[in-house]
Structure 1
Amino acid sequence: MASKTRGILNEIGKFGLLATLLAWGLAAHAQYTDVINSNRPGKANSAYAVGKGVVQLESGLVYEQQDHAILNTESGIFGVDVALRYGLLFEALELQYEGINQNQNITYSNLGTEASLTDFYRNRVGLKFLIYDRYKDPERNKPNIRSWRANNVFQLKNLIPSVALYGGANFVLGDNPFYPGEPTVSPRAMVATQSRLSPRFVLVTNIAYDRIGTDFPEWSYLVSISHAFRNPKWSVFVENQGIQSDRYSDVLLRSGVAYLFSPNFQADINLGAGFKNTPSRIFISSGVSYRLDFHKDQLIPIEDQEKIGRNSMRRGGRKLSKAERRSQRRAEKRNKKREKSDDGGDDWEFNPI
């Protein structure tokens, strides 16, 4: 009887957890945008999902040169990385697959021999869930029509991030030379945050605990800052990554640019290097991001958003006075002049969440 009772309680607990997740998902409003939201060209994972029904492919070619000072080896690595992202069930939930298949040719200078390794260096599946949306409140998205400066400069409150949790698993299939002796499945957990420092700067951070339960668990962090230029098709990023494990530890820096060919298609290139010489690392990557947008929710056009913003300008339930309306119109004209000088001439632009 006691075991049967515990079984029922476990089932109730599972149901309660599922119900809680569903409630959070229905309550959260991930910031779906009319422009593709890609994790490339960096490695950092944004806090936001791609949006319900959106299918997104992010892929690139990678070349890396590694030289190990102690082992006296030289390695040339060529690989293909692929990420598939799908907005699952509701706005805040995303299903991800990430894979890197690479070929590493190693030259042992002391021995005068060579070796070649080919397999998946990364092969994992996971779910990302937005638990806190900094901009869920529409009041935080409304521009300040009285001050151009208030809309475009950094403020301390902009550091408050949106937060997502990630849970997934790594898969080592067959005799993988990159992970000898590791179990077929090992868990991975991550916290991702995202802050909009200003309309053109976005800060993303990741803290991950990877290959949990193996002989070589791994801690890592990522800090990435992206900036959109005045021509909104171009953006640039700088990223710092730290890795700590008994197998491999290093600090990496990478930087690159991305270009929007259309709202659903982006191309990018980045390069980077490590700080150690065991091994030293220099790498370059170029790729694309493309989405199939089956998102059913309709975005509010910019013009209607401006009308909503103007109509919401009430004080104590009364309409604005004539003097207040004149002041508002003058502020709008000033803002439009400033925005016109920044306009890249397109109907769409980079939209940092």
Structure 2
Amino acid sequence: MAFQKKVFLLLLLPFLVSAQYTDVINSNRPGVSVSAYAVGKNVVQAEIGLLYEIQNHSDINYDSNIFGGDISLRYGLLLEKLELNYEGTYVSQNITFNNLNLEETRTDFRRNRIGLKYLIFDPFKNPEANKPNLYSWRANNKFQWKNLIPAVSVYGGATFNLGENPFYREDATISYRGMVAMQSALSPRLVLISNIAYDRITTDFHELSYTVSLSHAFKNPKWSVFVEHQGINSDRYNDLLLRGGIAHLFSPNFQVDVNFGGSFKTTPSRIFASTGLSYRLDFHKDELIQTKSDDSSGKIKKKSMKKKGKKKKKKNELDF
């Protein structure tokens, strides 16, 4: 997570071409919300987790437990604003149908997709308009209405359904996904992320979902917490989920996290927990903006330096 420290760094480093790359890892974990920002050009990042879930259905009268793992591989492709990513979740679900005295095991991908994310608007792209106030701590930390203006990125990708997937029966082998991701830095320590996604577009069970996540960094920026709400609507499955968790930054390139949550309904009821880590290989190179001088060639004239030196010497003589 650690978005708050990254935003503060962005405010203090106006010489960078883009606000994509930060000195601290930019992870989408914990939670399922997606940052509007890419990882940065030539950065390779892996976000891996283990999950466990208890799921019961009051109408069908079944009990089940789910164990699995998820992975997200992210790469800053060609541009600072562009990110290529793969997301996969592979699970095994053991189900007991109490009325039928029957047990069943389902094993397959619950998420298997690849896509591109591109930043189309960044409120921090103008460093002059976002300089910190060097004379007032309160001015830098109080809420300002302009902080609600989010960075916005768009995502396009494909979901793959390989073989006879028991979680997505009758779905096409390839379907498509679109998303808008927004991110607002409400303060140096408080960040709001919201996503609107339309998934499995070309199937009979297309899915519309939204996610709203609020994260907060402590005074010790190595620790951060978050709370997240997710809504899902489709002909196959509808739900409202709430989750929260904590993340710890061990180094600028390594983070660990844990989160837990549940659903608001009983068809099915869901209680889940996950723990994981994020690690990046940083091959990013900063590109600096050259400061324009009065001379079109960018060189300093020796004559002008001498002239200034003489004036200074004359002034000193008058002072004595």
Q: Shorter-chain TM-score category?
A: 0.7 to 0.9
- What stretches of structure 2 of length at least 5 have no aligned partner? 1-16, 290-320
Which of the numbers 276, 282, 300 marks the counterpart of 1:293?
282
Map 1:148-187; keep pairs closer than 5 Å.
148-187=137-176
State the secondary structure of the residue aligned to 1:220.
Answer: strand
> Given that residues 238 and 254 in structure 1 are in contact (C-alpha distance below 8 angstroms), is that contact kept between their aligned partners in structure 2?
yes
Please state how far the C-alpha of 1:29 moved relative to its aligned partner.
2.2
Indicate the residue corresponding to 2:191 in structure 1: 202
Please state how far the C-alpha of 1:271 moved relative to its aligned partner.
0.2
Map 1:195-234; keep pairs closer than 5 Å.
195-234=184-223
Q: Is the counterpart of residue 243 in structure 1 residue 214 in structure 2?
A: no
> Given that residues 54 and 292 in structure 1 are in contact (C-alpha distance below 8 angstroms), is that contact kept between their aligned partners in structure 2?
yes
**Which letter maps to 1:287?**
G
Q: Distance in 1 between matches of 2:162 and 2:234?
A: 22
Please state how far the C-alpha of 1:42 moved relative to its aligned partner.
1.1
Give per-residue Cα distances to partners, 1:35-89, cap 9 Å, x unaligned. 0000000100000000000000001000000000000000100010000000000
Give per-residue Cα distances to partners, 1:97-124, cap 9 Å, x unaligned. 0000000000010111100000001000
State the secondary structure of the residue aligned to 2:60.
Answer: coil
Give per-residue Cα distances to partners, 1:176-230, cap 9 Å, x unaligned. 1111111000010000000000000000000000000211000000000010001
State the secondary structure of the residue aligned to 2:221.
Answer: coil
Give per-residue Cα distances to partners, 1:125-147, cap 9 Å, x unaligned. 00000000110001244210122
Map 1:92-107; keep pairs closer than 5 Å.
92-107=81-96
Please state how far the C-alpha of 1:31 moved relative to its aligned partner.
2.7
Map 1:197-346; keep pairs closer than 5 Å.
197-297=186-286
State the secondary structure of the residue aligned to 1:149.
Answer: helix
Q: Distance in 1 between matches of 2:235 and 2:83?
A: 31
Indicate the residue corresponding to 1:121 in structure 2: 110
Alignment: residue pair count = 274
State the secondary structure of the residue aligned to 2:140.
Answer: helix
**Which letter maps to 1:252?**
L
Indicate the residue corresponding to 1:13 in structure 2: none
Q: Distance in 1 between matches of 2:154 and 2:278?
A: 23
Q: Distance in 2 between matches of 1:44 and 1:140?
A: 28
Normalised to the residue count of structure 1, the TM-score between the two structures is 0.76
Q: Distance in 2 between matches of 1:212 and 1:36?
A: 32
Indicate the residue corresponding to 1:111 in structure 2: 100
Normalised to the residue count of structure 2, the TM-score between the two structures is 0.84
> In percent, how many aligned pairs have the same letter?
68
**Which letter maps to 1:89?**
L
Structure with greater strand share of residues: 2
Q: Is the counterpart of residue 40 in structure 1 residue 32 in structure 2?
A: no
State the secondary structure of the residue aligned to 1:65.
Answer: strand
Give per-residue Cα distances to partners, 1:11-39, cap 9 Å, x unaligned. xxxxxxxxxxxxxxxxx824311000000
Map 1:43-122; keep pairs closer than 5 Å.
43-122=32-111
Q: Distance in 2 between matches of 1:75 and 1:169?
A: 29
Indicate the residue corresponding to 1:20 in structure 2: none
Q: Distance in 2 between matches of 1:151 and 1:284?
A: 36
**Which letter maps to 1:179?**
Y
Q: Distance in 1 between matches of 2:173 and 2:288?
A: 43
- What stretches of structure 1 of length at least 5 have no aligned partner? 1-27, 301-353
> Given that residues 30 and 130 in structure 1 are in contact (C-alpha distance below 8 angstroms), is that contact kept between their aligned partners in structure 2?
no
Q: Distance in 1 between matches of 2:228 and 2:117?
A: 21
State the secondary structure of the residue aligned to 1:98.
Answer: strand
State the secondary structure of the residue aligned to 1:150.
Answer: helix
Deviating runs (4+, > 6 A) in structure 1?
Answer: none
Q: Distance in 1 between matches of 2:66 and 2:129?
A: 46
**Which letter maps to 2:194?**
T
Give per-residue Cα distances to partners, 1:245-296, cap 9 Å, x unaligned. 1100010000000000000000000000000100000000000000000001
RMSD after superposition: 1.4
**Which letter maps to 1:67?**
N
Rg (Cα) greater in structure: 2
